[in-house]
Amino acid sequence: MPRFGTDGWRAIIADGFTFENVRLIARAMSLHLKAGNQTRKGIAVGYDTRFLSREFATAFSETASACGIPVMLSRQFCPTPALSHIVKNRGLAMGVMITASHNPSTYSGVKFKSSYGGPAMVPETRSIESFLKQATAANKMISASPARITEVDFTRAYYSKLSRFLDGDAISRFRAPIVFNPMHGAGIGSVDDFLGGLGVRTIAINSEPDPTFGGHGPEPIPQNLQDQVIAIRESGAKLGLATDGDADRFGILDEDGQFVQLHDLMPILFRYLVETRRWKGDVVRTTSMADTIDKVAARLGRRVIEVPVGFKNVCEKMLDHDILIGGEESGGFGYKNHLPERDGILSCLLVVEMLARTRQTIKQAVAQLRRETGPFAYGRIDRHCAIPVLRRNFDKLAKSPPFRIAAAGVDRVSTLDGIKFHLRDGTWMLMRISDTEPLGRIYVGSTTERRVKSTLAAGAKLLFGIS
């Protein structure tokens, strides 16, 4: 029986992720909608470029239709934010995205989007999960008159929305070449086509659908972007833009091919929206983000809300407060006047707009931030490990945290999400266990690369039991 994590359900294709389980979840979602009298509003179903994604999406749609739920099925693979937009724009009850986002190519998954165009909250996903056992009785759920399945282009209205959000005139003045990397995922033909339509020279790489994502995970992190680094250097481009497997996260490379930390991009974009666009609003960030944005927000007189990891926690605050920007360190940012949702495509385009209007390179923008907020270095370890080992070591650390880590005293420990150690020299280290894979994660922020490396090594010994 499928078990849901922080962002829906993910499993290995042909192991846990099977047509049988996809249909089971479709029936459970149908029962959830019927219980809330939401069936007439219908749902939207999208999918990425993974193996059998179109077929899984069709199976989900046909099952929901058989249960009496009207379905809009994407005509082609689509970015997750395009699905979220059509859910909100058409007043649908829910959106379903067949994707495992940035996970390895052997995985697929189901993401749920609620009527407001953002990730479904825990009560909603728990309700769907609670109907799984009842949904095994498939024959009892077949409607006498199946609902209609309509194939729709989700991207057209979404790109129209982006055109209204962005300053196209400013973007058209960006004259330097840009290398865009959709990583063989659902962002293919998005950023490059949008920029090309405004006269910006854009070189697209990895722009063909590939279920293997070129042999590595579709996550825009330095080790997965080396071919883009080469393309930037060979083409003389001044900027590199990348989106993940379903295009809700993004990554940026500067003119030298250096990866720009998301911990830096969030405060840089926030300051641009406040000082140049003159927008109002506060900030929400996950606990895995550095406090660099806190320093910028304080100078601008804005508030920062810290939440557990997971964009649904960011989304919740965006719905309840006047939030200008919300984000997480893994590259998912959401913006006021758009959707309470991660949008990697919009984030890439907004960076181009910002650089065009401020007449800076991204490298110059980061240097300005460093002068204002001080030095910052960051590192992260994701390591596969048996869940029992992770749980045992994690529980031990929670009950009896160390007094010193990597030669620095522990000032305080917070448990908003995982265990976060705040050291006396200003270094912080967060430890978490993944909800979607047998994986431990360690995040470290400090003032030097040396301190980051030594703290990561100490953290690995504590969490994984190895040096």
- H/E stretch holding 422: strand 419-423
d(CA 467, CA 462): 9
Structure tokens at 140: 């009892």
9-155: CATH, from 1.10.760.10, 3.90.440.10, 3.90.76.10, 3.40.120.10: 3.40.120.10
CATH superfamily of 159-258: Alpha-D-Glucose-1,6-Bisphosphate, subunit A, domain 3 (3.40.120.10)
Contact criterion met (CB below 8 Å) for 109 and 8: yes
Provide the CATH number for the domain formed by 262-373 in this structure.
3.40.120.10
Q: Which among 112, 72, 76 has a CA at the least distance from the CA of 89?
A: 72
> Which residues on neighbouring strands pair with residue 84, listed in sequence order?
none
pLDDT of 88: 98
Record the pTM. 0.94
> Could you say which architecture CATH assigns to the domain 377-464?
2-Layer Sandwich (3.30)
Give, to the nearest 10 degrees, the angle between helix 155-165 and helix 80-89: 90
Structure tokens at 385: 């490990």
For the chain, what are the domain ranges? 9-155, 159-258, 262-373, 377-464
Beta strand ranges found along 115-183 (DSSP E): 149-152, 178-181
pLDDT of 136: 84
d(CA 212, CA 224): 13
Domains 262-373 and 377-464 share a fold: no
Structure tokens at 75: 């005509």
pLDDT of 466: 67
d(CA 216, CA 84): 27
pLDDT of 146: 79
- H/E stretch holding 27: helix 19-35
d(CA 235, CA 18): 43
Phi/psi at 232 (5° precision): -65, -45
pLDDT tens by residue, the chain, 467 residues: 888 887 789 999 999 999 999 999 999 999 999 999 999 999 999 999 999 999 999 999 999 999 999 999 999 999 999 999 999 999 999 999 999 999 999 999 999 999 999 999 999 999 999 999 888 876 566 665 678 999 999 999 999 999 999 999 999 999 999 999 999 999 999 999 999 999 999 999 999 999 999 999 999 999 999 999 999 999 999 999 999 999 999 999 999 999 999 999 999 999 999 999 999 999 999 999 999 999 999 999 999 999 999 999 999 999 999 999 999 998 999 999 999 999 999 999 999 999 999 999 999 999 999 999 999 999 999 999 988 989 999 999 999 999 999 999 999 999 999 999 999 999 999 999 987 678 999 999 999 999 999 999 999 999 998 65
**Which residues, in sequence order, are CB contacts of 156 under 8 Å at separation 6+?**
none
pLDDT of 5: 80
Structure tokens at 224: 């997965």
pLDDT of 340: 98
**Which residues, in sequence order, are CB contacts of 305 under 8 Å at separation 6+?**
282, 283, 284, 285, 317, 321, 323
Q: What count of other Cβ atoms lies within 10 Å of the Cβ of residue 115?
A: 17
Question: Is the sign of the CA dihedral 446, 449, 451, 456 positive or negative?
Answer: positive
d(CA 154, CA 126): 27
d(CA 31, CA 131): 7
